Chain A
Amino acid sequence: MAKVIEKVGQVEAEKEELISGSEAIAVACKLADVDVITAYPIRPYDTVMQYVAKLVSNGEMDCEYIVAESEHSQFEIVKHASAAGARVFCGSSGVGWMYAFEAITVTPALRIPMVAMVGNRALDDPGAFGVEHNDALAVRDLGWMLVWVDNAQEALDVALIAYRVAEDRRVFLPCAIACDGAFLTHSQSIVKVPPQSWVNKFLPPYDRGDLLLHPDNPITVAPQVNEDWLMELRKHNDEAMKRAQTVIREAYADHERIFGRAYGNPFFEEYMTEDAEVVLLGMGTLSMPVKVAIRQMRQQGIKVGFVRLRWFRPFPTGELQQTLSRFKGVGVIDRDYSFGSPYFSGVLANEIRAALYNAPARPPLLSFICGLGGREVTVPYVREMTDLVRRAAAGEKLETTYWIGIRQ
């Protein structure tokens, strides 16, 4: 097998193209030979549907492309298509994603390996286009896998990985790929687009097996049940989510073997953490200004690193515990907010707090609310957050949550 791929690799090579994060997802859909795609416009997700439409109309992609009359129908249509054995894709943003919520909720229990893109957008009101993570995070308890990417290349690669993981019979769970509105969805950068033959090696056909909705496999899907049945069905999904951790690792390893791009730990990226005393932690494109700031601070001798979480579900609890226990202070940057939550913090900060509760060492943790509604996370903000974490690490008693960049 490996030899064949090597040979293929010699004949065919990746092509560099200047495309946006949304376009990268559309290209991944083409490479994954997705069968059914549903669309309903809302910014910033709509860029994906536009690129898919272009690929279809240019004859580059063969799929059922359905513009639904609402997000709810959009997600229902692909749910049913997936049950009937089709590889599917859809997506949305902000309140559009929320409008589809009933369909989104029922998808995991039916073990539908749907892949959806969430173009992260602030939830109305006020109407705003800018990035905020609360839309995607709303599915965190429902049985969706949830992954954040921070550049167009990763968007393409993770879209392929998402199909591989979701459609694995051990998993059969939907996967949402969260892409920051504007900074990723609307920004073009150089992306290596792999040849189709490599993708074919990586991504086997979707086989729904005994769950296939087909006259030859007579089954009833989603009958009403009473209290004697539901817990057992929830347990199925719990176990599938646990198994997904292994399947994600396998998929990244195989991706590296075939495509030659190494992502290291699939669940989170560590940047300059080896000798770091304190770290910042966040998701999505805020990694860019954070990394710039860290390099600047490093020149001044400040030992600060960054952990970029990719997979929010399944959450890499054990590995994060081990990693974060090494530092003297942790600052979690949330591009979201959880009103009335413990410590009046961000969603991510409280997840990290929970993960650290059983850790051998619990460093001081500060929650930073930053970049809401698409406000830029700037280098000075990152320095400000780092200073606070360092003060906390030095033993200073500080607030638990800070709003960074708010006018006051």
Chain B
Amino acid sequence: MATRSVEVVYRGIFQKNLAKNICRGIVLAAVKQGKTGIAFGRYGDSPERNGIPAKNFAIVADNEEELQASMAQYEPKSVDISIVVDDTLCKGVESWAWYGLQPINKLTKPGGYVLVTTMLPFDDLLQMAHAKEYPYHLAVVRGLPSFSGLWVYKDDHTDVRILGAIARLMPDLISLEAVEAAVRQEWKHEHKVASARKSHERVETMTVRPGTGDPTKPFEFELPKWWEMREGVTIPGIVAGEAFPDPATGSVGGWRPARNPYFKKFSTRTMRPVVDFDTCIKCTLCWLQCPDSCFDVTPDGLYDVNMEACCGCGVCEAVCPVDDCITMVNESAFTDNGSQWAMWKANKETYKTWVKEQIQHVPDRSHGFRFRGQYEEQIRTMVSAGTGGPGGEEITERVVTDAGEASAGG
């Protein structure tokens, strides 16, 4: 076997330890088979920020010398499996200090796998993921986005279920026997071994043909030469915003703040606000409280969320004093970042219907649980979804005390 590389794309804070555990599990299983490997996080990422897309990697090689070719690098140039532990990440990844929205399958090799934990059908995932020029495989482990995160490890077995699935997709990387042995060593529980085995049986796959997926061209730019760059570690400031025209009347007004065109960070979002403009009382609270200055003040005095700037934190929904004016909706229900206000201006009746339909897509687990007891409730859903019936999995919760991993960036 040549060197095999795996990436885990995850959401900062909420899934940091999940990603780390998956990559550890891969290496430990490889060691059980007499191979060697390394597990590491992408250094430029800032995984201590809520929901920010970040990456962890596991690289497995036959021996130490072969492994050296993959060491002292920030990330592999390509991977055999891209693991996605939150399905909304399929829309793309823009992490801190990175370069615009990049496709979820950017590093996936021809014939490689994108492995997603999701409850969505394949077609929905394919709508989100960018089209590739070559064929690859899409694999699915059924489940809600795991919250096996940074501070408290809500152990829903996603870690071992992913490992079991890998053994099925790429047995020359890690065998099921090796996974079982590694799980026993690392987690010391037969229920987790059983979960890995069941996932191994039930992982679903399909082949993705070239050109299938979101046709949008990923953001690209050329790094400047040293003599083309500004001196003094300076970059041009973002100038103030401006008023903009009402598409219906043409009258110019309101205020749209200027925003960073290179760092939009909307891929941090797992849910988005949907605004019912007919019930808005123009109280300004959403506009004032939004930590990312996402709201454009429209010429008619309403507040329109700029979907390229919104991180989906839910503060606007929380501060809105009107029932059902702002509702957070699962990000996977949307395919574009268009203006809701423009849609409302175009046809208010159509918009009303659209809002009613959209708010049915309740976000599962975005930026924290939405009510007490939600976790316990969803575990039951997960167990039935993942196993097709009451399985042997035992759900545990333990506090993570890895202080070294909890240090903030900056």
Using a CB–CB cutoff of 8 Å, the interface residues on chain A facing chain B are 109-111, 172, 210-211, 218-229, 231-233, 235-236, 240
Contact = CB atoms under 8 A, between A and B. Distances in A.
B234 A225 contact: no
Given A211-B231, A223-B235, 10 more contacts: A210-B230, A218-B239, A219-B230, A219-B235, A220-B236, A222-B234, A223-B233, A227-B44, A233-B226, A236-B232
B225 interface: yes
Contacts of A236: 226, 229, 231-232
Which one of B97, B98, B234, B237 has the greatest number of beta carbons of chain A within 10 Å?
Answer: B234
Contacts of A225: 97, 233
Contact of A109 (B44, B98, B233): B233
Report, nearest first, the 8 A-B pairs whose CB atoms are least far apart: A218-B237, A232-B226, A111-B232, A235-B226, A211-B232, A226-B97, A219-B234, A226-B44
B234 A220 contact: yes
Contact of B231 (A172, A218, A222, A227): A172
A210 B230 CA distance: 9
Interface in B218-234: 223-226, 229-234
Interface in B84-130: 97-98
26 contacts: A109-B232, A110-B233, A111-B232, A111-B233, A172-B231, A172-B232, A210-B230, A211-B232, A218-B238, A219-B234, A219-B236, A221-B234, A222-B233, A223-B233, A223-B235, A225-B97, A225-B233, A226-B44, A227-B44, A227-B74, A228-B223, A231-B226, A233-B226, A233-B229, A233-B233, A236-B231
B108 to A, nearest CB: 22
Contact of B224 (A109, A222, A232): A232
Contacts of B97: 224-226
A110 B74 contact: no
A223 B96 CA distance: 12
Contacts of A232: 224-226, 229
A229 B262 CA distance: 15
B236 to A, nearest CB: 6
A211 B234 contact: yes
A110 B232 contact: yes
Contacts of B237: 218-220
Interface residues of B, number: 20
Interface string B398-410: 0000000000001
Contacts, number: 58
A218 B258 CA distance: 13
A210 B233 CA distance: 12
Given A227-B44, A232-B226, A111 B231 contact: yes
B58 to A, nearest CB: 22
A240 B226 CA distance: 13
A92 B42 CA distance: 41
A236 B410 CA distance: 24
A228 B44 CA distance: 11
B76 to A, nearest CB: 16
A106 B371 CA distance: 47
Contacts of A226: 44, 97-98
Contacts of A227: 44, 74
A394 to B, nearest CB: 49
What does DSSP make chain B's interface, helix, strand, loop or mixed?
loop
B43 to A, nearest CB: 8
Nearest to B46: A224
Nearest to B44: A226
B44 A221 contact: no
Contacts of B233: 109-111, 221-223, 225, 233
A220 B237 CA distance: 5
Contacts of B223: 228
Contacts of A218: 236-239
A231 B225 CA distance: 10
A1 B150 CA distance: 70
Contacts of B235: 219-220, 223
Contacts of A172: 231-232
Interface string B375-410: 000000000000000000000000000000000001
Nearest to B229: A232
B293 to A, nearest CB: 16
B202 to A, nearest CB: 40
Nearest to B410: A224
A235 to B, nearest CB: 4
Contacts of A109: 232-233
Contacts of A219: 230, 234-237
Interface string B36-73: 00000000100000000000000000000000000000
Contact of A221 (B229, B232, B239): B232
B47 to A, nearest CB: 15
A218 B241 CA distance: 13
Nearest to B233: A222
Contacts of B234: 211, 219-222
A310 to B, nearest CB: 27
A236 B224 CA distance: 13
A232 B231 CA distance: 10
Contacts of A210: 230
A221 B231 CA distance: 10
Contacts of A228: 223
A222 B234 CA distance: 6
Interface string B247-284: 00000000000000000000000000000000000000
Contacts of A220: 234-237
A226 B224 CA distance: 14
A228 B226 CA distance: 11
A219 B236 CA distance: 4
A375 B68 CA distance: 53
Nearest to B409: A224
A225 to B, nearest CB: 7
A227 B232 CA distance: 17
A236 B230 CA distance: 9
A113 to B, nearest CB: 11
A350 to B, nearest CB: 29
Contacts of A111: 231-233
A240 B231 CA distance: 10
Contacts of A231: 226
A222 B236 CA distance: 11
A223 B97 CA distance: 10
Nearest to A223: B235
A211 B224 CA distance: 19
B232 to A, nearest CB: 4
Contacts of B410: 224
A219 B230 CA distance: 11
Which one of B224, B229, B230, B233 has the greatest number of beta carbons of chain A within 10 Å?
Answer: B233
Contacts of B230: 210, 219
Which one of A110, A227, A232 has the greatest number of beta carbons of chain B within 10 Å?
Answer: A232
